Structure 1
């Protein structure tokens, strides 16, 4: 009697072996398998791995599980592109253009009272956004200023300037300091440093300037960057001898040139130093939490000072 073949037609009656096909392309035979999930993959789906090949899904999953590169202080590596520094400069330049346009032929660019006329005069925009404690624009008029509820001035003032020379000096300093600090801290931490230092300088101007004295400029934040650079370089064990002379020159400039807000510069310097300490000396294990908490403490302290000053002016 003749023996019949099995159901699949082999000599032993068992199923005929089938060639594996790619799990993504069922018409392509392959003997290569993903080293992670063991699914068959064709040459089009193969991705080089440290050992063997992987399928596209496993490669993407591996990328998601890899922690992104961080700086020494917990920031993202995206800070090396300097996008925040460039954006801040663009905002300051835009504010200067708007200030000039609002002046309608006045002395917004040059011709003001500072630096022998090199600095520009006030404009409707600087009148609206500069730090002003409590004063009226006209005799016996309605009072304006931070004490009158215009708290936005503590932020807007750091983006307004009295003339092109004032703007160019501050933007040059921001370009020099900002790129290195942003690369070291990451975009978010650098932005926090800049804004909190600028706010601290404006709060100091509000506290210690005459009620009718207006002040504006990015120099409150710039002085904060100077202080933070010094603190961070010390934390990294790097040489700070090149920073000290520049800082001293700027302080001499602050105390000797008329119409410069001394409280604003010193306040920005001290706030920047405090932020630098918070960012640079946060313990590694809970660094982000410590940095956020330290920043919050500084902001609460500044808020308390503003409330006290407001009560003194309006009480």
Structure 2
């Protein structure tokens, strides 16, 4: 019987993570032997678990398909804090904060046209109904945690403010101009509208969100409930338009187009508000 020409098996031919498993496959990065369970396909060859972990840690982190802004919804927390601070100021007798910040299409003040109120009204709430601010801030916290990491801080803030303005525009067009409104409901509905559009485009399940939006819209039409449904409708439409722009221009190569479209939308909203005001 002749001697076998097959070389003896050494310990180097066993997986470094499973010493009882023989293998002749090496990690392309560190050169260690790895079995089939420990192999992750790479660009060339396979990679062991430790090298794959290091590769993932060193790779640039992308939190959403829009930006790399980080996981913490800082803008969301800031908006909640500012709104809560303004609400505390409302409770101080003599400051009349709500009178300076509420919105209506036509005023009886010496300066009849005060367009900044279309935004400032988002930060004041009814003092007689504590659940007004509580529900709005809970909704902001809920949708902010979902949208801000996805969109990025600047885009999320723009979405919130544009939606709030669009909500005031809804009040301007759908009332006689004398109805005074306060609250972040228009901006909140804008977040819902944007999330609805983005989820739809991404192929996500929207059944729960559609029910939520529907319930909130219906509540605004119930007699006896002092809710500005006009702001809800305006904010929902405005937020949906912003969400559509964000999705269609989500790639970095479309950044300039996105800025142009958002700027154009803002300009259209302002022009519409001027046209409606002149019509009164």
- TM-score category, normalised to shorter length: 0.7 to 0.9
Equivalent position of 2:81 in the other structure? 90
Listed as ranges, the matches of 1:18-167 within 5 Å are 69-78=61-70, 80-101=71-92, 103=93, 124-136=96-108, 142=109, 148-163=112-127, 164-167=130-133
Runs ≥4 in structure 1, deviation > 6 angstroms? none
Closer/same/farther in 2, CA of residues 292 and 306 from structure 1, 3 Å limit: same
Listed as ranges, the matches of 1:250-265 within 5 Å are 250-257=216-223, 258-265=225-232
Structure 2, unmatched stretches of 5+, are 1-28, 31-57
Matched, 1:172 2:172: no
Equivalent position of 1:212 in the other structure? 178
Counterpart Cα distance in 2 of 1:194 and 1:70: 22
Task: Name whichever of 214-223 and 292-301 sits farther off.
Answer: 292-301
Equivalent position of 2:39 in the other structure? none
- CA RMSD, Structure 1 to Structure 2 (Å): 2.1
Equivalent position of 2:21 in the other structure? none
Equivalent position of 1:201 in the other structure? 167
TM-score (norm 2): 0.74
Counterpart Cα distance in 1 of 2:113 and 2:239: 26
Equivalent pair of 2:65/2:250 in contact (CA under 8 Å): no
Deviations 1:258-296 (A, max 9, x none): 321121110000000000000012162522212211211
Counterpart Cα distance in 2 of 1:265 and 1:165: 17
For the residue of structure 2 that corresponds to 1:255, the secondary structure is: coil
Aligned length: 222
Question: By how many angstroms is 1:143 displaced?
Answer: 5.1
For the residue of structure 2 that corresponds to 1:81, the secondary structure is: coil
TM-score (norm 1): 0.66
Question: By how many angstroms is 1:73 displaced?
Answer: 3.5
Counterpart Cα distance in 1 of 2:257 and 2:221: 35
Structure 1, unmatched stretches of 5+, are 1-49, 52-65, 105-122, 137-141
Counterpart Cα distance in 2 of 1:232 and 1:162: 31
